[in-house]
Amino acid sequence: MRWTAAIVCVALFVLITALGFMAARWRRGDLALLHEWGLGGRRFGTFIAWFLIGGDLYTAYTFIAIPALIYGAGAIGFFAIPYTILVYPILYVVFPRLWAVCNRHGYVTTADFVRGRFGNGWLALAVAITGIIATMPYIALQLVGIQVVIGALGVVGHGVLHDLPLIVAFVILAAFTYTSGLRAPAMIAVVKDVLIYIAVIAAVIVVPIELGGYGKIFAAVPAAKLILAGPKGPTLGSYGAYATLALGSALALFLYPHSATGILSAQNGGVIRRNAAMLPAYSFLLGLIALLGFMAIAAGIAKSPEFADGFKQYGPSYAVPALFLATFPGWFTGIAFAAIAIGALVPAAIMSIATANLFTRNIYREFIKRDCTAGEETAMAKLISLVVKLGALFFVIFLPLTYAVQFQLLGGIWIIQTLPAVMIALYTRFLNGWALLIGWLCGIVSGTWMAASLHFRGSIFVIHLFGTAIPGYAALWSLIINIVVSFVLSAVLNTLASDRHKDATAMKDYA
């Protein structure tokens, strides 16, 4: 047990727990209304939105998994950087429109928008279910971030005792999300990000000094890991994989319910546009964190007997925690680990709120109890937020980790299939609701088939075009199928049975 680090970590955890409960009274609103509980009353300004969306997108899992990928696989893991570069031009141009129409009509979820735009409850149901299923494994993976940190603190035990710290952290999370709604992660995100920035900036200054500079660090990494393997013969090789992973992930990111929830909680469209220019600060931070993977290689921590057990249990995910333990004094490691653990709570809270909003608005109120009051609606959402988190906890404790990773990989392929109904629909009413539903189905089936053909171990599917092999992200290929089907069928259905008269939104709602 590493006592100093553990005590600092627990103390910070207690602090943010108190903050989480206090958040209920912050910018006070009637928490019995769904947009107050689930969107923080749409009142967050530029500053808070920056912390909230930053904490929402750059999760603890990201901060553990990306350097782990660099540590294990090398350059390909850096795709997270072009991915998070491309996200923001898309955010700037597309999503203020979504905010505007959702604000005008009181939509709380993207599926609400789809319901209004197409008057088609089934299409909205498809969007909602896709969102819920894609988010669940993501919540489970956040717990893995906490687990690695708890393990690195030297907490050992067997059976229930082993999982106890994780269970305690999650009960706390569940309780303050229940009482405070989206205000809790917004308030905690501020503290967490300050901790993360301190930890990472210290790491990228101190570690290279100890290792003798960046030149020495990169010299210690095997050459094959430093850049992508160039294509040999008629193939785009890893270039195709790298570029399509970045582009596909960027297109998918804001379709995730938790990202959409973050955006919709903004005070106005200007907050979103300003954040499109300010959030890249996190991307830069992520780039530095990614390089920690190489520093872990250069520091030779894999050979240190002190960390052998950790690597055996957590694999490459243990690289960054071990690097911190090897470099910093106990109290500082405690701060860094607290940042990671708290960094898991913020997105986990937002994800469970987003999932709860979707279930309540687009399944419960649409199909189960149409005449529910605003109070009943919010009570149901709060209950669902508990159920979702409990599900994630069971997932992590009772199922092997690879299941969560594979489900999350599939989640990326599935969520991108809602792009035509959500993003393209912001610009045109050419698309027909039923055509979109069939396009969505074709995308889901073809994408899942591609992943299955890879035995769910990866998402790079090779297609052959004019004698050239093009390896690419399965999500992108299946999205192309989805879009083609949606447009062709829409052209047919628009003449046979147009559903344009069902559009509850008007052109002016989008500006």
Question: Is 104 an interacting residue with respect to another protein (CB under 8 A)?
Answer: yes
Cβ proximity to another protein: between 361 and 389 the closer is 361
DSSP letter string, 136-186:
HHHHHHHHHHHHHHHHHTT----THHHHHHHHHHHHHHHHHHHHHTTHHHH
Alpha-carbon distances of 495 from 104, 114, 122, 140, 492, rounded to whole Å? 30, 21, 21, 45, 6
Q: Are 151 and 314 in contact (CB under 8 A)?
A: yes
* Residue 124 neighbours by CB under 8 Å, 6+ apart: 111, 112, 114, 115, 118, 362, 366
Question: Is 379 an interacting residue with respect to another protein (CB under 8 A)?
Answer: no
Query: What span, in angstroms and rounded, lies between the C-alpha atoms of 292 and 301?
Result: 12
CB of 218 to another protein, least distance (A): 6
CB of 44 to another protein, least distance (A): 12
Question: Is 246 an interacting residue with respect to another protein (CB under 8 A)?
Answer: yes
State the Rg of the chain over Cα: 23
Exactly one of 88, 122, 430, 510 binds another protein (CB under 8 A); which one? 88
Cβ proximity to another protein: between 432 and 505 the closer is 505
Residues 280-309 that bind another protein (CB under 8 A): 280-281, 283-284, 287, 291
CB of 301 to another protein, least distance (A): 20
Tokens 């819920």 belong to 132
Question: Is 35 an interacting residue with respect to another protein (CB under 8 A)?
Answer: yes
Exactly one of 110, 267, 385, 490 binds another protein (CB under 8 A); which one? 267
Query: What span, in angstroms and rounded, lies between the C-alpha atoms of 399 and 227?
Result: 35
Residues 40-69 that bind another protein (CB under 8 A): 41-42
- How many positions of this chain bind another protein (CB under 8 A)? 51
Q: Are 248 and 80 in contact (CB under 8 A)?
A: no
Question: Is 471 an interacting residue with respect to another protein (CB under 8 A)?
Answer: no
Question: Is 382 an interacting residue with respect to another protein (CB under 8 A)?
Answer: no
- Tell me the per-residue interface mask from 384 to 423 with another protein, x by CB under 8 A, - otherwise: ----------------------------------------
* Residue 460 neighbours by CB under 8 Å, 6+ apart: 241, 245, 454, 471, 472, 473, 474
Interacting stretch for another protein, rule CB under 8 A, among 20-28, 131-139, 236-244, 401-409? 236-244
Question: Is 27 an interacting residue with respect to another protein (CB under 8 A)?
Answer: no
Print the SS3 string covering 474-508. Answer: HHHHHHHHHHHHHHHHHHHHHHHCCCHHHCCCCHH
Interacting stretch for another protein, rule CB under 8 A, among 124-132, 189-197, 241-249, 381-389? 241-249
Query: What span, in angstroms and rounded, lies between the C-alpha atoms of 81 and 288?
Result: 10
Exactly one of 14, 171, 480, 511 binds another protein (CB under 8 A); which one? 511
Question: Is 277 an interacting residue with respect to another protein (CB under 8 A)?
Answer: yes
Query: What span, in angstroms and rounded, lies between the C-alpha atoms of 45 and 58?
Result: 19
Residues lying near another protein in the complex (CB under 8 A) are found at 33, 35, 41-42, 75, 78, 81-82, 84-86, 88-89, 92-93, 103-106, 213-218, 226-228, 230, 239, 242-243, 246-247, 267-270, 273-274, 276-278, 280-281, 283-284, 287, 291, 374, 511
